[in-house]
Structure 1
């Protein structure tokens, strides 16, 4: 039986591409393991399944052990994921990445006493493993791209929300403190009320009883509708712009009159493992589209190229004409 080397193991656990049977098999296997783990976690909350506690615990143990092995392998091959960094730096980079943190907190609570509430709550992080199902196809690249592109507008809207939250908390304190001194004891005791009102949740556990307080609640509710709509509209517009841009690029890519270069990233290719911002392209050309397993993606600067990717380069004149 052939012994797998580090590169082959890395290809299996990190890079799933068509034609790679082992990688595809691992993707299916790890996806099934994630789903089983989450299903077991849900079933363990039902009293009806208490007679099957031993079976559920055994399944949970098996899936956690699988995650442990995968976690160790990912650490072992971290320098292949970040080839531009030294091995210690690559390991630290992986440990602090989203996948690394989720992997750690998926297995960590299992090895501590279940009596600690904090560790039991950490088990919820296992659900974030479900991102792997879409993450391997880079579906979330669109979300992160839009968030990064609109981060200034989103930050501004969040600052406005925090200011209104503080203002409404102080306002409700002055309006309700005399009538409900135990509920609104200080300026910050109304934060919970202001959050639920501004976000139009309205749990009803804390509410104003004075006329001034009710007027304050009405104004806060109206402001909340508008403030919450701001980041929602920003994100919606960002997604529309992103997909409109992608559709436009695809249309140009099908036009034979456009100057295009098609680069296929194969094993050993100098672009394999590099970010779009790090690749060297011919003069007067820019990355226009990255195609991965039938999906077309905008080549954002942080997108890391993998084996099997197809990079379409378009002439700079096309970009200046289009935008």
Structure 2
């Protein structure tokens, strides 16, 4: 048992609140004073201290049990959480102690009728973080259930659409979906390699006009890859639940732009355009657009937890990256201006202007050092050494926060995935128990009906 000491207040309270009550919280007996509890008159304890002990109905609605002899109220609640909640009567704020689940603590506050506004700011941010984690778990569970559920009420076409959508968009849903994802990834790699190899002059052939063109074999491979990309895009579009959202998605726009150049060239060639020079210009522009299909590799980011973690780490590290860019920008401006000023005395200076010196400052501070622009005077070399050291320090400073964000989010994703799978297993176990109980009830009902029928026949 522990007793809360009675503090002294300047303003006297009503006589009703001067009484003391004993509450038993999960086996821990606590003695509280009425004048303290009445600081929050709408709370459960304040209602309990002000109610009459003769009113059994009110007492039963406020506590789990009551001993009239000892005048002790019993609550089947968490005593550790109650130790935090009782602080609000003395300090007007509550801190969630380490080891207590914040979501369960909020439920405790709701039971004791304490408003969440009394939570300290640090605890509010911690609670917000936990609520976001629960939302992420709920979203993951929803995605898993969408993959598992088969509603009997939907039509056959809707079931086929859902099956095709999971097949094309969710590689982890089945073995055929995983095979299609691997085939798509290999097609991207093959198409990219063919595009690069096709530019080698030794592998090109001469056409009827004496111009070097892509080898027919490489062109056939490229055509096969484009046909695969086209079929994949059309199947994903056909099975998409929201066609407009699918078409306006950034990665889907990239997919479309990677496919269309091939058909533009094919259409112009089939129509037999006479403006050959214009056609050649169009082909050059199309060749530049074909490189965009390499961006399809980023489509696999939603299936890779590593890439998702890296993206999140960069988003969480925008402040550090912004500071890095600011430091680098200031350093580039200062050292390029100094380098231009110090190198003007040399007759063969490579620093023609301050904007041209920006390039030298960038490759020096980032430790790249191409060597196309370099100082020739002693002061210029000293300036280059200082800029190099400042660049190393500026780049090294934000590395630790970025790595820390990466590790924290990676571990968090693993925990959320495990929690989501555990939640699905619990739901399946619960549904199995409900089904078993229903079947058992049906068997009992059948047995009762059979017994009644037998009795009537006898």
Residues 75, 238 of structure 1: alpha-carbon distance in 2 compared, 3 angstrom cutoff: same
Judge conservation of contact 2:327–2:394 (CA < 8 Å) in 1: yes
Counterpart position of 1:64: 226
CA distance in 2, matches of 1:41, 1:135: 26
Following superposition, the deviation at residue 91 of structure 1 comes to: 3.9
Q: Deviations over 1:217-244 (max 9, x none)?
A: 0111101111122333332222233345
Counterpart position of 1:154: 321
CA distance in 1, matches of 2:384, 2:396: 18
CA distance in 1, matches of 2:246, 2:347: 54
SS at match of 2:353: coil
- TM-score using structure 2 length: 0.46
More helix by share: 2
Judge conservation of contact 2:343–2:349 (CA < 8 Å) in 1: no
Judge conservation of contact 2:335–2:387 (CA < 8 Å) in 1: yes
SS at match of 2:374: coil
**Gaps in structure 2 of 5+ consecutive residues:** 1-155, 206-213, 266-278, 428-458
Query: Do residues 139 (structure 1) and 139 (structure 2) align?
Result: no
Counterpart position of 1:42: 196
Counterpart position of 1:16: 171
Judge conservation of contact 1:197–1:221 (CA < 8 Å) in 2: yes
Counterpart position of 1:213: 380
CA distance in 1, matches of 2:289, 2:365: 28
Judge conservation of contact 1:172–1:213 (CA < 8 Å) in 2: yes
Query: Do residues 128 (structure 1) and 295 (structure 2) align?
Result: yes
Query: Do residues 263 (structure 1) and 424 (structure 2) align?
Result: yes
Equivalent residues, number: 246
Counterpart position of 1:25: 179
Higher normalized contact order (CA 8 Å, seq sep 6+, divided by chain length)? 1
Larger radius of gyration: 2
CA distance in 2, matches of 1:121, 1:206: 30
Range with greater deviation from structure 2 (21-30 or 114-123)? 114-123
CA distance in 1, matches of 2:186, 2:375: 50
CA distance in 2, matches of 1:32, 1:21: 17
Counterpart position of 1:304: none
Counterpart position of 1:103: 255
Judge conservation of contact 2:337–2:354 (CA < 8 Å) in 1: yes
Q: CA RMSD of the aligned region, Å?
A: 3.4
Judge conservation of contact 2:339–2:380 (CA < 8 Å) in 1: yes
1:181-196 matches, cutoff 5 A:
183-196=350-363
Judge conservation of contact 1:183–1:189 (CA < 8 Å) in 2: no
CA distance in 2, matches of 1:153, 1:171: 27
Judge conservation of contact 2:349–2:376 (CA < 8 Å) in 1: no
CA distance in 1, matches of 2:280, 2:231: 22
Counterpart position of 2:371: 204
SS at match of 2:423: strand
Counterpart position of 1:237: 404
Q: Deviations over 1:267-295 (max 9, x none)?
A: xxxxxxxxxxxxxxxxxxxxxxxxxxxxx
Following superposition, the deviation at residue 11 of structure 1 comes to: 2.0
Residues 262, 147 of structure 1: alpha-carbon distance in 2 compared, 3 angstrom cutoff: same
